[in-house]
């Protein structure tokens, strides 16, 4: 996404990111002007299920594709779009096995990254330090308002309240308009 505004104060996630890599990239959009800003991640247990579901799906996709490679003459399969692409690649490459192994490795990496994301959510000490640690860095200087685990409050709260009120008004308007249209139909 090409959001290039220096004065973004809040980045709110209401979907669980699939990795700390993506999460950090996304929250990095807040506070590019160096002023106080916050990243808010809304999570409830079970939010990870959607990621498990898609990981499982791609694993099954890969497994049935592998089955085809091993017993192509016996297996009657209908490829989906992704598998069709795999087939093109496999037909071109001299080392299909190596290529399949890479695919398997990618699955494992995906699972690992999700696990680390969940670990971050369940972090008990310091989220800032946890992120830095994940990327092989150390927290040298802890800011006063570090993270929620250390009592940080959201910056410029009056502004948030104002924002919420305007948002509500907008939503009410949108809803009203929707209902109007429906009754007209």
Pair 29, 11: CB distance under 8 Å: yes
CB of 127: closest distance to Zn ion in angstroms? 5
Which runs of E-coded beta strand occur in the chain?
A: 10-13, 38-41
Is-contact 118 20, C-beta < 8 A? no
Interacting residues with Zn ion (CB under 5 A): 126, 128, 146-147, 150
Nearer to Zn ion among residue 87 and residue 152 (C-beta): 152
Cβ proximity to Zn ion: between 106 and 125 the closer is 125
Closest CA to 155 of 11, 3, 1, 5: 11
Which residues fall within 8 angstroms of residue 8, CB to CB, at 6 or more apart? 29, 30, 31, 32, 37
Q: How far is the CB of 140 from Zn ion (least distance, A)?
A: 13
**Of 4 and 124, CB closest to Zn ion:** 124
- Decide whether 86 or 120 has the Cβ nearer to Zn ion: 120
């Amino acid at each position: 996404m090409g959001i290039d505004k220096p004065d973004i104060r809040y980045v709110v996630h209401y979907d669980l990111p699939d990795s700390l890599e993506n999460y950090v990239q996304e929250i990095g959009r807040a506070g590019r002007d160096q002023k106080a800003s916050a990243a808010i991640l809304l999570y409830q247990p079970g939010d990870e299920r959607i990621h498990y579901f898609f990981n499982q799906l791609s694993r099954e996709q890969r497994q049935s594709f592998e089955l085809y490679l091993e017993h192509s003459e016996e297996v009657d399969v209908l490829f989906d779009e992704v598998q069709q692409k795999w087939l093109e690649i496999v037909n071109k490459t001299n080392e299909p096995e190596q290529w399949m192994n890479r695919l398997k490795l990618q699955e494992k990496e995906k699972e690992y990254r999700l696990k680390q994301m969940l670990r971050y959510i369940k972090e008990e000490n310091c989220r800032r330090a946890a992120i830095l640690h994940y990327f092989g860095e150390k927290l040298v200087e802890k800011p006063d308002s570090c993270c929620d685990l250390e009592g940080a409050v959201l910056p410029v709260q009056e502004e948030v309240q104002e924002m919420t009120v305007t948002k509500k008004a907008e939503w009410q308007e949108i809803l009203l308009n929707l209902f109007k249209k429906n009754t007209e139909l």
